[in-house]
Chain A
């Protein structure tokens, strides 16, 4: 049952920057931070592999401490932590472990999950004090006992399930869809994008709406109207897409430069640290700040 996969999304995705493309001028400027990230990632993967090979957790049990709360059952309304001792398997993720705990020990243990491969975004938990994707976090990397809690700064509905409505509202408020009425010139029927522009928005397109970033941000915690990193990143994805007209970009910038938009970001980098898809969120927020300033200077 262990999913065994690590970073499937990068392996599946072509990685032009690791081949000959860096010599391409427009690309190299863009890809260098990402190259570093990828390099770090590969190093991390190698490290994990070594750890997994060496670790003598095999045959051991994993001690989980899982947050429990159920408003509908008398006696469970007071939040508490339950202990589970789950047999360790090579490659076991936090999600695997809670699935085991639910299937074998307590079927009332409630959490969201679906794809088990870091693409549906349903299983972001607060694991050992940090927002992580359950299915992308190896048990062997964590100190024990492994504390699994619901995402901070969101209302807990039951056990590890939090209310995501507000997060989705913020995502929708930046109009996260392509808006371009006119078809391109010539006989083309599709909206074609240049390779360079695709590279520019590439990382921002990877968001899986898991909410980890929003949960990690203490500005978002204090200001419920703050759009939050994921929504701003979504706005970036479209504002930087050259296929949309200039007026639409201006409209998008007006949304993000409002009172509870980009200017709330205090560059704490918490979101960037936790994003399971390695999206450089702070970088994107900062770039939108600069775009907003440039737009306003233009219409002085």
Chain B
């Protein structure tokens, strides 16, 4: 055979408009899984301010002197962007858990005919829970 032609990856992410439910579920699951890992590191970093607090370090928040741990948390929670990121984190975690349960069912061979519907259900439920959480996350924060 003479030389042939390799069309490379054009058909992969270039055809995202044609992706079906299972493909989106896979992409979102990867994405949310790695986001959660990323959050884990920031979470550890923030919580480790407790070490500084245990060493007796203090900081000033709103004119009061508090220990380093409380100060760090209060400082972060006072930021609007952090509250928004928390809503995002909740959305990511909820989707990952719901779709994770869907994947467990798929692994057990249960309800494979409804795998697309269970993906859409995960999405809708994630949206509902996220919206419902907004008041809780955004109370008492100045813009």
Contact = CB atoms under 8 A, between A and B. Distances in A.
Interface residues of B, number: 29
- Interface of B, secondary structure class, is helix
Given A269-B21, A273-B20, A287 B109 contact: yes
A: contact size bracket: 20 to 34
Nearest to B107: A286
A167 interface: no
Given A126-B11, A152-B11, A69 B20 contact: no
Pick the most buried of A79, A218, A269, A290: most chain B CB atoms within 10 A of its CB.
A269
Would you call the interface of chain A mostly helix, strand, loop, or mixed? Answer: mixed
B17 interface: yes
A267 B20 CA distance: 12
A36 B113 contact: yes
Given A126-B11, A268-B22, A270-B22, A69 B5 contact: yes
Given A286-B109, A289-B107, A269 B7 contact: no
Interface in B21-59: 21-23, 25-26
B106 interface: yes
A280 B18 contact: no
10 cross-chain pairs, A with B, having the tightest CB-CB distances, nearest first = A269-B22, A152-B11, A155-B4, A129-B18, A156-B5, A268-B22, A268-B26, A71-B3, A33-B113, A283-B112
Interface of B: 1-7, 9-12, 15, 17-18, 20-23, 25-26, 103, 106-109, 112-113, 115-116
Given A71-B5, A221-B12, A282-B22, 20 more contacts: A33-B112, A33-B113, A37-B113, A69-B5, A79-B7, A126-B11, A129-B15, A152-B12, A153-B11, A155-B6, A221-B9, A267-B106, A268-B22, A268-B25, A269-B20, A269-B23, A280-B112, A282-B106, A283-B109, A286-B112
